[in-house]
Amino acid sequence: MTRNEIDSLEMIESVIAFLEGNIELIENNPAIRAKLTELKAHVTKVKAMKPVQLERGKDDHAVKKTKRETLVELIKSTTDGLKAVAVSTNNTALKTVCNYPQSSLKDMRENDLVNLALQLVAKAKEYEVELKTWNVQPEETEQLNDLASNYLSQNVDMNLKKDKSIQATSSIVDHISAAMQLLSEEMDVMLTPFKRANPDFFNGYQLARQITHHAATHTTKKKDTGAKE
């Protein structure tokens, strides 16, 4: 949520708290009570969407970075082992498989990195016995296989979270806008008669309708949504 949205939401909640704290003054006015119920519904929706909006997969990016680093290290160690096997057995074909600049791994595209890892897994399984001599164990090959096989699936989950966050943001904006419109076009109008009938109640409502701009550390009232005098 933006700072303005947070400030607006706090004002809306302030109005709700004020009206509920003076419910006896509006208990015989079904129109005002109905609008109060609508306001509360908008706030409930916003609060339900806030956790979804915040879930943008930031932690997932950190996990993914760690997994990539592990994947690269396993690729390097497997490649080193296969190179040793190729040299010790004069296996030209195996040398070709390992003939790529390891410095390119850092910036290699994800699909290419995964494909390379799976290609190395296939060769590592083929030369499993020989690799043991060069300190590459079958467990490492299985780890590389599992990591490479599941690596790209992370993107689906992260994109899903991103899409949900965008939808939640849109929903929050819609509900806050609707609540602000309800206040300015309906609630303000219905409470204006209290200016004469009950000045203290009306002034309390006016105070609740003020928006505190925390960044600027002062209180103002939005021109287009302020209560009508």
Same domain as 103, residue 37: no
> What phi and psi, each to the nearest 5 degrees, are found at residue 219?
-110, 130
For residue 226, name the pLDDT band (cuts at 50, 70, 90): very low
Tell which of 151, 174, 204 closes a domain: 151
Q: Is 163 helix (H, G, I), strand (E, B) or coil?
A: helix
Residues 199 and 127 in one domain: no
Asked if pLDDT for residue 156 goes beyond 60, the answer is yes
- For residue 169, CA distances in Å to 54, 117, 177, 217 come to 9, 38, 12, 25
Those residues whose C-beta lies under 8 Å from the C-beta of residue 3, and which sit 6 or more positions away, are 213, 214, 215
Residue 156 lies in a domain: no
Quote the pTM value: 0.56
Distance (Å, rounded) from C-alpha 180 to C-alpha 11?
9
Backbone angles phi, psi at 212, to 5 degrees: -90, 115
Q: What secondary structure letter does DSSP report for 8?
A: H
- At 211 the three-state DSSP class reads strand
Task: Report the domain count for the chain.
Answer: 2
Mean pLDDT, residues 36-41: 96
Query: Residues 104, 63: one domain?
Result: yes
Q: Is the pLDDT of residue 216 over 70?
A: no
Q: Are residues 32 and 86 in the same domain?
A: no
Residue 190: inside a domain: yes
Q: Are residues 172 and 144 in the same domain?
A: no
Mean pLDDT of 75-90: 95
How far is 147 from 145, CA to CA, in rounded Å?
6
Exposure of 5 in the CB half-sphere (CA atoms within 13 A): 16
Residue 111 lies in a domain: yes
Q: Within this chain, do residues 21 and 39 fall inside the same structural domain, yes or no?
A: yes
Q: Are residues 64 and 141 in the same domain?
A: yes
> Based on the domain organization, do 81 and 147 belong to the same domain?
yes
| DSSP letter for each residue of 17-37 | HHHHHTGGGTTT-HHHHHHHH
Q: Is residue 228 part of a domain?
A: no
Residue 229 resides in a domain: no
Same domain, 20 and 94: no
- Asked whether residue 226 is domain-assigned, the answer is no
Is 134 found in the same domain as 67? Answer: yes
Same domain, 106 and 70: yes
Contacts of 165 (CB under 8 A, 6+ apart): 52, 53, 54, 55, 56
Range of the domain at 25: 3-54+164-220
Instruction: Indicate whether 46 and 66 sit together in one domain.
Output: no
Q: Is the pLDDT of residue 222 over 50?
A: no
* Helix/strand number for the chain, H first, E second: 11, 2
